[in-house]
Structure 1
Amino acid sequence: MVDQFLWVIFPYLCIAVFVVGHIYRYRTDQFHWTAKSSEFIEKKQLMVGSLLFHLGIIPVIFGHIAGLGIPKEWMRAFGVNDHMYHIGAIYIGGFFGFVTLAGMVILTFRRFTKKNVRQLSSASDLIVNSLLLLIVFMGMYATIVTNAVQPGFDYRDTISIWFRGLFLLSPDPALMTIVPLSFKIHALAGFAIFAMWPFTRLVHVWSVPLNYVGRSYILYRRHKMN
């Protein structure tokens, strides 16, 4: 029953809360659909931490999509054998993971140690920062330490198949029983952050001003004084 809850019920609950929560918040709380800026309180650490985090997290997300969403047989069909994939996952993924981790450490340290920033922060801000730091740290730990200690473990034979099964409505919790603890914590924390997403500042991710690219220029004209 524990495995059934952790690897079937809990993920589906998180996905449901993610979807329904976004719809509810958008319909009832559009004016707070943003991230409160604390740049005017402290700028240097925010700029460095935010830059590192965003530079690292985008490749990390695409790496997760490839590793979890694409079967290894498909990779081989495109000429990417297992050795090539693992080299890319360890070295390229590890590099961008480290960049992401460095950014999260700076941002979390700033939020907890800068008195004015902490006072401006809500409880959800502190929880989100801590949970994101845990997710990134456990991802790096699993990539570097767990893979070194258990070199025979291939998450594409277990986690990836289980993950794809969630979206095919046929998840197999038995696949996760042999997964190392670091990967399990990383996966569960990842789903937990999705459940929290609609109720935190993370919603600002969906507010990227893409319309700025195609909108008309704003013209300013000097007022002639008489």
Structure 2
Amino acid sequence: MWEQFLWVIYPYLVITVFIVGHLYRLNNHPFSWTSKSSEFLEKRVLKWGSTLFHWGILFVVIGHVAGLLVPVSVYRALGVSDEAYHVIALSAGGIAGLAALLGALLLMGRRFRVKRVRATSSVGDLLVIVLLVIILLTGLTATGTNVSHTGFDYRTTINPWIRGILTFRPDASLMEKVPVAFKIHILLAFGLFAVWPFTRLVHVFSLPITYLSRSYVVYRRHSSR
């Protein structure tokens, strides 16, 4: 029952909160849908931290989609051997993960150490950045220690399990032999998705498409008399 809760019930609870939470916030608190920029409070650390984190996490997400949602049979049909796949995944994924982690650590240090930034931070802001750092750490640790040393292949376990969740055919037995480090990483990631709708992370779904058609804002120097 415990395994069923963790790998079947818990994911669907999180997905429900994720979807309903976003809809509720958008309909009832639309003006809270913001990234709450703190650039005017501190710029130097933000520039490096934000750049490293956002570029790193972008490629981390792409790697997760390619690794978790694409069946292993597709790669083999394309002629990509298991050895080649793992080399690419470990090298490219490792670089992206380290960049995202370094950026997240800079942003976390900035949020806790810069007084003005800390004073304007909510509990959600602090919780999210700490969660992100832990998730990135556990992900890099799990991949580095298990895939490279034990030969564990998440494409034959976690991959079909997550696809089963998305296609409403969950199978908790697929997670039985998954290393503990991966399980901790997955559970924490779902925890992040659960709090996502109630934090600044909602800005991920805000695309500034209207900026393409907006008129330019013209600034003119005021001539003093």
TM range (shorter): over 0.9
CA offsets 1:40-93 (integer angstroms, 9 cap, x no match)? 221111111000001111111011001000000011112222111101110011
Superposed displacement of residue 38, structure 1: 1.5
The secondary structure found in structure 2 opposite 1:171 is: coil
Q: Does 1:68 align with 2:87?
A: no
* CA distance in structure 1 between the partners assigned to 2:28 and 2:204 by the alignment: 18
Structure-1 separation of matches of 2:29 and 2:104: 28
Partner amino acid, structure 2, of 1:157: T
Q: Does 1:169 align with 2:154?
A: no
Shift of 1:145: 2.2
Matched AA of 1:169: F
Aligned twin of 1:114: 114
- CA displacement 1:120-155 (0-9 Å, x = unmatched): 1111111111111111111111121232342x2101
**Residues 115 and 157 from structure 1, CA distance in 2 versus in 1: closer, same or farther, beyond 3 angstroms?**
same
Q: 1:71-150 maps to which residues of 2 (within 5 A)?
A: 71-150=71-150
The alpha-carbon distance between structure 1 residues 41 and 74, as it changes in their structure 2 partners (threshold 3 A), is: same
Relative to structure 1, is the Cα distance of residues 143 and 14 closer, same or farther in structure 2, using a 3 angstrom cutoff? same
Indicate how the Cα distance of structure 1 residues 168 and 218 shifts in structure 2: closer, same or farther if over 3 A, else same: same
By how many angstroms is 1:23 displaced?
0.5
Q: After the TM superposition, which segments of 4 or more aligned residues of structure 1 sit over 6 Å from their partners?
A: none
Q: How does the TM-score come out when normalised to structure 2?
A: 0.93
Q: CA separation in 2, counterparts of 1:218 and 1:102? A: 36
- What SS does structure 2 have at the residue aligned with 1:186? helix
Shift of 1:170: 1.2
Cα 1:155/1:217, change in 2 over 3 Å: same
Structure 2 CA distance for partners of 1:219 and 1:19, relative to 1, 3 Å: closer
2:15 corresponding residue in structure 1: 15
Question: Percent of aligned positions with the same letter in both sequences?
Answer: 50
Q: Which residue of 2 aligns with 1:202?
A: 201
C-alpha distance 6-75 of structure 1, shift in aligned 2 (>3 A): same
Partner amino acid, structure 2, of 1:12: Y
Matched, 1:187 2:186: yes
Alignment deviations for residues 155-183 of structure 1 (CA, whole Å, 9 cap, x no partner): 11111111101012111111112111111
AA matched with 1:46:
L
Aligned-partner residue type, residue 134 of structure 1:
I
Q: Give the letter aligned to residue 148 of structure 1.
A: S
Q: 1:210 deviation in Å?
A: 2.3
Counterpart amino acid of residue 138 in structure 2: M
Q: Which residue type is aligned with residue 119 of structure 2?
A: Q
Equivalent position SS for 2:146: helix
Cα offset, 1:188, TM superposition: 0.8
Deviation at 1:192, TM superposition (A): 1.1
Counterpart residue type for residue 72 of structure 2: K
Q: Report the AA paired with residue 98 of structure 1.
A: L
What TM-score does the superposition give when structure 1 sets the normalisation length? 0.93
Equivalent pairs counted in the alignment come to: 222
Partner secondary structure for residue 70 of structure 1: coil
Q: Which runs of 5+ in 2 are unaligned?
A: none
SS at match of 1:95: helix
SS of the residue corresponding to residue 38 of structure 1 reads coil
